[in-house]
């Protein structure tokens, strides 16, 4: 098992630039525009579309969370067995097994619910010969880890969900005696699969003088969700990333949090 892909929803406040990017780079087409030229003095909006989109699933997530990661997908070898065991362990099935195909073969999928409104899609590539998946092309580097922020006192339950539902195990953990500043702190458990090819840090806020950046995320996002996605470094030995660097990153987030007036 390994990370297959991550699906996100997005707001864009730089409308023209975003519109151009989606149309030029991703093959979308302009559909509608609202702005000064149409008599709207408060809101500017660009609508682009591709093929015949059914936007309810993405649209609902966008309304609730704005810029966000919606789905974290895993490559699996035996989709039927994974889905069967997930069902037996009480997983909520968002979409049962389906397949997509093109001239390079077929790929099978299934999606289950995890924390908050986040989902996991399992991808069985089989003998598929394409570079990525049927339809889109991709030139991404390998992901190192995907962080999920949780409300206070929910980290353990989410970690246990990964243990019981996906048979992940605990890879690493830190608590508020290690990751803290003068003002705030956090706790984290890193979950991984049997092969240890997937790392899913699960964070929660800890008590401090002021609001933790984990709590700030939960407040603004509207619940549990994916905070960030990290990619493999080309010089991992030099860069390193242990508890000390974890703390440095936490401190840098806190500086930005203070600038927003949310510390």
Tens of each residue's pLDDT in the chain, 263 residues: 766 655 545 554 567 888 888 888 777 888 888 877 788 877 788 888 776 666 678 888 888 888 789 999 999 999 999 999 999 999 999 999 999 998 899 999 999 999 999 999 999 999 998 877 787 655 445 788 999 999 999 999 999 999 999 999 999 888 756 665 666 778 899 999 999 999 999 999 988 777 888 998 999 899 999 999 887 766 555 545 555 565 666 677 777 777 767 76
Q: Where in the chain is the domain with CATH 3.10.180.10?
A: 2-124, 143-259
Give the predicted TM-score (pTM) of the model.
0.57
Sheet holding 119-124, edge to edge: 2-9, 68-75, 119-124, 105-113, 93-102
Q: Tell me which DSSP letter residue 140 carries.
A: P
Q: What is the pLDDT of residues 58-98, one digit of tens each?
A: 888 888 888 789 999 999 999 999 999 999 999 999 999 99
CATH number assigned to the domain covering 2-124: 3.10.180.10
| Length of the chain (residues) | 263
What the block records as the tokens of 13 is 């406040």
- CATH number at 143-259: 3.10.180.10
Rounded distance between C-alpha atoms, residue 113 and residue 26, angstroms: 28
* 8 A C-beta contact, residue 205 and residue 184: yes
What's the CA gap between 116 and 149, in Å, rounded? Answer: 10
**Predicted local distance difference test score (pLDDT) of residue 106:** 95
Single out the residue of 55, 62, 71, 96 nearest to residue 5, CA to CA. 71
Q: Where are the beta strands (DSSP E) in the chain?
A: 2-9, 29-34, 45-49, 68-75, 93-102, 105-113, 119-124, 143-149, 169-174, 185-192, 199-206, 225-231
């Amino acid at each position: 098992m390994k990370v297959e892909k991550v699906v996100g929803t997005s707001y864009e406040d730089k409308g023209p630039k975003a519109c151009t990017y989606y149309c030029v780079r991703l093959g979308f087409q302009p559909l509608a525009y609202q702005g000064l030229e149409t008599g709207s003095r408060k809101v500017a909006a660009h609508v682009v579309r591709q093929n015949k989109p059914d936007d309810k699933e993405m649209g609902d997530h966008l309304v609730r969370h704005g810029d966000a990661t919606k789905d974290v997908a895993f490559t699996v070898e035996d989709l039927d067995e994974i889905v069967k065991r997930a069902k037996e362990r009480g997983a909520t099935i968002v979409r049962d097994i389906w397949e997509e195909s093109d001239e390079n073969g077929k790929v099978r999928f299934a999606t289950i619910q995890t924390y908050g409104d986040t989902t996991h899609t399992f991808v069985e590539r089989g003998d598929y010969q394409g570079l990525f998946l049927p339809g889109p092309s991709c030139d991404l580097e390998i992901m190192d880890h995907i962080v999920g922020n949780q409300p206070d006192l929910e980290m353990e339950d989410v970690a246990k969900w990964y243990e019981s539902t996906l048979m992940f195990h605990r890879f690493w953990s830190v608590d508020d005696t290690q990751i803290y500043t003068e003002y705030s702190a956090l706790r984290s458990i890193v979950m991984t699969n049997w092969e240890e090819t997937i790392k899913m840090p699960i964070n929660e806020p800890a008590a401090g003088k002021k609001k933790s950046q984990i709590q700030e995320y939960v407040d603004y996002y509207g619940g549990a969700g994916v905070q960030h996605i990290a990619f493999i470094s080309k010089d991992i030995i030099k860069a390193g990333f242990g508890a000390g660097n974890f703390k440095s990153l936490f401190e840098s987030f806190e500086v930005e949090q203070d600038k927003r007036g949310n510390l």
